[in-house]
A = this chain, B = another copy of it.
Amino acid sequence: MRHLLLGLPRLCDRRGIEVEGMTTAREFLKGNEALAYGALKTGLNAFFGYPITPSSEIPETLAVEFGNSQYPAFKVFLQAASEIEAINMVIGAAATGAKVMAATSGPGFSLKQEGISYAAAMELPMVIVDVNRGGPGLGNLGPEQTDYFQATRGGGHGGYRNIVLAPCSVPEMAAFPALAFSLAFKYRIPVIILTDAFLGQLKEDLMFPEVPAQQFETAWATTGARGPERHVLSSMHLELPELNRHSEHLRSKFEEIDRSEQRSEKYQTDDADVVLVAYGICARLAQRAVKDLRAKRIRAGLLRPITLSPFPKRELLALVGRGVQNFLVVELNTGQMVEDVQLAIGGRARIETAQKVGGLLPTPLDLVRRVEAMRR
């Protein structure tokens, strides 16, 4: 069993990313580099990007490894002339059944929203990495979690949902491309890996698993009209009933995903009377706070969403069912994931928030004090 939260062997939910046959060779990499290698090792075919800080090490690493015979599946690396070109090239490659990825940060993620909407409508598997930086507009290069709504609510037009994964460590940055592609192809859906400037730049030890490159079913792809069947991938459905059917199909597909793919990790929740909810870098700060609270005999726990979309509502409800009456939602924005917590819990428990923006992080001590205040 692969442990997701660094150095915490017991902390791993059954839905965690279990990887068999781990090699023993350790590496010390930045999160962005680890993500790039993770994608290569899962058999990435194509990458189309436009560099933007703090995600640039992803295209840089892939550019260096392009042509390396260790990655024979990696056929196309292209720096496009713009974020918009890049996402449209991703669409084109995805339509052929290729394993294709793009990486960007906030402003670029905004520019890609039209394309992601097209991809969602055409049911194209792809992986888009958003390394969340600070602020609306140009902001700064610090870490934030302010693209949460954009990633989980569909920043693009029209009714669709993405799968959104939130790694919390460099080993997870390495492991999540494999998970992302497996979900993307299973459901024919864009998968967003939503991470932040801190995790992208952080260096940690990791071991890459020795896994064979993944192969997926791509009978739907447009690979040239060689067989008797004509494949058309289009997002246009001019007839109203036809678009209605298609939209209902997308809805039921996402309902199936919601039922089957909620992923989260719990830490010390069994006897907890207060549970912190945090993802990504915040989960690590929250875990430290939980340890410190436990040292003070306060029964705190942590729920870490791994999938932000679908949101792990069931696990939250189970905690409420088990009697947890206090939740502290920790996030690097002015209130986004807290809405999903509220929607899951529906007034059945008290929810407070610890938020920080502008590239700043809350300290574990801040969180300890907030929990202590909640219990008064």
Chain A: residues with CB nearer than 8 A to chain B?
78, 81, 84-85, 105-107, 109-111, 113-114, 117-118, 120-122, 132, 134-142, 144, 146-147, 149-150, 153-160, 234-248, 250-251, 333-334, 336, 339, 342-343, 345-348, 356-360
Contacts and interface: CB of A to CB of B under 8 A. Distances in A.
Nearest to A104: B157
A85 B78 contact: no
27 contacts: A84-B111, A110-B155, A110-B156, A111-B113, A113-B150, A121-B135, A121-B138, A134-B243, A136-B154, A136-B159, A137-B235, A140-B243, A146-B158, A146-B159, A149-B149, A149-B154, A155-B156, A159-B333, A159-B334, A159-B357, A240-B359, A243-B357, A243-B358, A244-B358, A244-B359, A342-B343, A343-B343
Question: Could you say which of A137, A139, A156 has the most chain B C-beta atoms within 10 Å of its C-beta?
Answer: A137
> Shortest 5 CB-CB distances between A and B: which pairs?
A137-B235, A121-B137, A244-B358, A136-B158, A347-B347
A150 B356 CA distance: 23
Given A139-B243, A240-B140, A247-B357, A339 B339 contact: yes
B110 A117 contact: yes
Nearest to A138: B236
Given A111-B114, A141-B238, 5 more contacts: A110-B155, A140-B237, A241-B360, A244-B358, A342-B342
Given A150-B155, A154-B150, A155-B113, A142 B243 contact: yes
Contacts of A250: 136, 334
Nearest to A113: B110
Contacts of A246: 135, 358
Given A136-B117, A138-B235, A155-B113, A357 B144 contact: no
Contacts of A140: 236-240, 243
A157 B192 CA distance: 14
A113 B180 CA distance: 25
A73 to B, nearest CB: 14
A148 to B, nearest CB: 9
A107 B111 contact: no
Contacts of A120: 136-137
Question: Could you say which of A109, A118, A243, A342 has the most chain B C-beta atoms within 10 Å of its C-beta?
Answer: A243
A161 to B, nearest CB: 9
A121 B146 CA distance: 13
A77 B160 CA distance: 34
A100 to B, nearest CB: 15
A118 B136 contact: yes
A137 B159 contact: no
Given A146-B159, A147-B157, A358 B240 contact: yes
A135 B110 contact: no
Contacts of A357: 159, 243-244, 247-248, 251
A221 to B, nearest CB: 16
A238 B358 CA distance: 9
A243 B133 CA distance: 11
Contacts of A157: 105-107, 109-110, 132, 136, 146-147, 150, 155
A346 B342 contact: yes
A78 to B, nearest CB: 7
Contact of A235 (B139, B238, B342): B139
A199 B224 CA distance: 29
Contacts of A360: 240-241, 244
